[in-house]
Amino acid sequence: MRREGVVPVAPDSARLGVGPVAGTGVVIHAMSGIFAVETPEGVLLCRPRGRLRPKAAGAWRDVRDAERTDAALLTGEEQEGRADGEAEAGADLGAPSADAPGPVRRAGQSSPRGGRAARLSGGGGDGQQGAPPGNSGRGIGARRGTARWGVRNTGPEPEEWVPAVAAGDRVRYSRLPDGEGAIDEVLPRCSLLLRPPVANADHVVVVSAWVAPLFSAAFVDRVLLEAALQGCGATVVCNKADLLDPARRAEAEAALRPYRAAGYAALPVSAVSGMGLAELRGVLAGRLTVLAGPSGTGKSRLLGALVPDRPRLSAEISARIGRGRHTTRSVELLPLPEGGWVADTPGFSRLDLREAEPEDLPYLYPEFRPYLDRCRYRGCSHGTEPDCAVRAAVAVAEVDAGRYARYLQLVGEMRARRRGRG
């Protein structure tokens, strides 16, 4: 069942007299305004029809949260009818349904920000879900570009673009007489990463290394928080484990231990020797995963080990548009042999947690959540307040002291940024 005014799409193509919609599919490659759509008949190269204009980032998230709430209240028969027409593309992708119920905060858990923090409280470790916060941008001024074709965020932060169509989107398409296709409609998204632009991802793998480059717990924490903001599960990987002697391997294991204690899968792996790859493949199976990590951590080699003989659509699309592959604007979903997809992207280019406020941050730490309703003050920031349960848990090593110290540093950065906004 389609609810008018809810799906952020262009006008229905049938109503415009441009022919029937051929079906639904998944965008598996996005490059310079041309999108490869996986269909039951194979890959179809498409361009968006007209001026596809979704809502601003926060607006579609509000719609998604409302849809999840409605879905939890629908009867089984209504739920089945409502999902009809979207299941075909979603099943092929393995991404979570837009109608999947969102996370629910534990009864009695305090929240200084009400519903916003309640939605955030469900994110966390591997396999856990957490909805992002509310509206982060109010503008809907559109600019027609190529791969950046989308909606501009004109809120108080610097301009941000919400892509009208992104890799991972479930879409309705029409076949054209020239053998290509047109994207008529973008189905509701469950998540959206902006840099890189990937829709409906439900899993992020943080790729790090212990040496060359040196392991950065601060970077790992920020990626995990960004994943939680988007409702994605996460896994921490320490690549290049074959280069470590026993002493350094013990150090790497000690660095991963706090993440395991917080509920994340944390794996030492080697794309060269194959160490840990079988376990990692099991974690990735059936999901849409994005790899995130600094330069030099071996993401490309790891991707090659996970997807051997991977198909490449970039050359075909480059030939169609008459230009070389621009790696910073090309995103491709690669099918995993075990099922699911992994996104070949330029990498994360923004980790400033712009969508979060300091009051939201505790709900993004899985290990903090058992203590959040035990603090003396409802609005406790877990810094210097008396009778803080989180700080007490740190004192008895139930919460990692390093993660807690980096949390305090992030809270300070966010407060300084908010003061700067005036």
| Domain-wise residue ranges, the chain | 198-344, 367-421
CB 26 within 8 A of CB 169: yes
Mean pLDDT of 112-139: 41
The dotted CATH code for 198-344 is 3.40.50.300
Strand partners, 239: 209
pLDDT digits (tens, 9 = 90+) for 127-161: 443 333 332 322 222 233 333 344 444 444 444 56
SS3 content of the chain, % helix, strand, coil (to 5): 30, 20, 50
pTM: 0.72
End-to-end CA distance of the chain: 44
Tell me the range of 40-54, 140-154, 397-411 where mean pLDDT is highest. Answer: 397-411
CATH topology assigned to domain 367-421 = Ribonucleotide Reductase Protein R1; domain 1 (1.10.40)
Whether pLDDT at 202 is above 80: yes
- Average pLDDT on 106-124 reads 44
Reported residue count of the chain is 422
Chain centroid to Cα 73, Å, comes to: 26
What is the per-residue pLDDT across 297-348, written as a single tens digit (0 to 9) for each?
Answer: 888 899 999 998 765 555 555 555 444 444 445 788 999 998 999 998 876 6
Instruction: Report cis status (omega within 30 of 0) of the bond before 335.
Output: no
pLDDT band at residue 71 under the 50/70/90 scheme: low
Per-residue model confidence (pLDDT) at position 70:
59
